[in-house]
Chain A
């Protein structure tokens, strides 16, 4: 990804100069990417190339040009790479008559485990995703959220260092979603390379600050959300402050060089536009204290992933 990997840490996934064509359509165009340990969010609108990228990494497709390496191996030509890779596909790809436990056990056995060990691993993985009470249930009787958890369990049952999750939270209830987000974060903290493809931005943001944004088959941005937002210097930050005398605070702040505008929204709300969020965050408490004001609430409505996505994907034009 952006920058060099950490010293001594081998990147889990390396995509170099990869182009994938479907007929005359370029699904991916000259993609270069290095993903190491931790959780990375793969973002982009429908048809942007996310699924193609995951299929290339999981060895289901061969790139037309360039190379894909997973743990140093070619996933297309060397099936042994799948010992270290767990894939949770987007669709519900199950044998409906199987129970969750037998489904995960059967797939885990294909990694070379014996029947007993595969069953133990399957049970542990299902327990980990919160399916302990439902592992004996047939898949056809499972809710969408349960299927989703079962899919994740089969992806992690063999304890892979690289995990690919395609829309892992689809259909899960709020509590289940929180549990799965915590699980994904934990997988990342354990040093696994976890790639999460999703449309739900706030869920990705809850899992990671590292993102890869794809649009029209090309990389739009890669890296830390906050640093990427800071790179968009043609898109000043909006910063909202709730304070007793907004007009006085506006007068004090508008003279600062990085503050482009100050708008008093209502009797207690001030909205500032700045090109340097960090500098504003340093100046704001100082000026408020000088005026004897207490800040009731503050925040930047466009410093989050959603704003970044809006700027880079929905209304592209900024630098990458």
Chain B
């Protein structure tokens, strides 16, 4: 310091580099690391299988409604009956898809996102992250993005894809009424994605090992879903609110009722099991999501002082 002459001297702080969106490298790193795990590939396979299965079911149902009857050589059904049959089948399959895919996505999230906060805490990677020009908000957004992209890719986009697939095969008269299925379904898929993202990150914020967090998360979700599915049948109707997929289904159903034409509602052959109160179901979903996000915020605030 005092006794030495330096060739260069103190260098000014570097000029601000072009502002790049810091959360993306955080999310990209997390997703890249997750993709290296065999279990993640298994989870992606599971989700892919579910999408494929539902796609095949849709194809079989729509094509059966349209062509089998006429192929038998007998009198053709009325076009209106075919349209009604197609819409009913598509609705049942898409409703089933959201419920099944929520569970499959939870498996995948347990592998991808359970360690996002927990492992950063355990390894101390947060210290390295915050020795960069990052704010807590950047870090949180990065983690939310990493976790949120998973259900977006396995639940929301495939739902749209399946709807388009079904609409492409459906008879021309069915496409218009089927639009009434798209928005409520999309809303349900999005709510499910937000719920799953918030809860997995909340669990990750509580735990210290990704694997443990993942197992607890999946087991917890399965237990709640089965309690919410079984207990209402034996008279405990309140238990239905324990099941996140059932709550999402309740909201989707309410949106369908509110936004669709009477014609569409008349032709829906079956409605999935739902809870009696939409308000309570919404509160349960919002409460669970808020709890997850709250835990995430609390943990990051606690761990990162600045």
Contact = CB atoms under 8 A, between A and B. Distances in A.
Given A80-B16, A93-B123, A192 B11 contact: yes
A197 interface: no
Interface in B1-59: 1-4, 6-14, 16-20, 22, 25-26, 28-29, 32-33, 36-37
B134 interface: yes
A76 interface: yes
Contacts of B18: 112
Contacts of B3: 209, 224
Nearest to B8: A191
A110 B6 contact: no
Nearest to B135: A79
B13 to A, nearest CB: 5
Interface string A240-258: 0000000000000000000
A111 B134 CA distance: 8
A37 B1 CA distance: 6
Interface in B46-103: none
Interface residues of B, number: 42
Contacts of B36: 97
Nearest to A210: B1
A225 B115 CA distance: 47
B215 interface: no
A236 B125 CA distance: 48
A93 B131 CA distance: 12
Interface stretch (A54-62, A127-135, A310-318): A54-62
Given A60-B130, A71-B13, A189-B7, A40 B1 contact: yes
Nearest to B129: A110
Contacts of A83: 13-14, 16-17, 133
A38 B3 CA distance: 10
B302 interface: no
Contacts of A1: 1-2
A161 B13 contact: yes
Nearest to B17: A112
Contacts of B273: none
Nearest to A209: B3
B33 A111 contact: no
B128 A87 contact: yes
B134 A110 contact: yes
B32 to A, nearest CB: 7
A76 B306 contact: yes
Given A110-B26, A191-B10, A35 B1 contact: yes
Contacts of A9: 6, 9-10
B125 A93 contact: yes
A87 B125 CA distance: 12
Contacts of B37: 97
A320 interface: no
Given A3-B2, A9-B6, A86-B131, 4 more contacts: A102-B32, A106-B28, A112-B16, A191-B7
Interface of A: 1-6, 8-12, 35-38, 40, 58-62, 71-73, 75-77, 79-87, 89, 91, 93-95, 97-98, 102, 106-107, 109-114, 154, 159, 161, 189-193, 209-210, 223-224
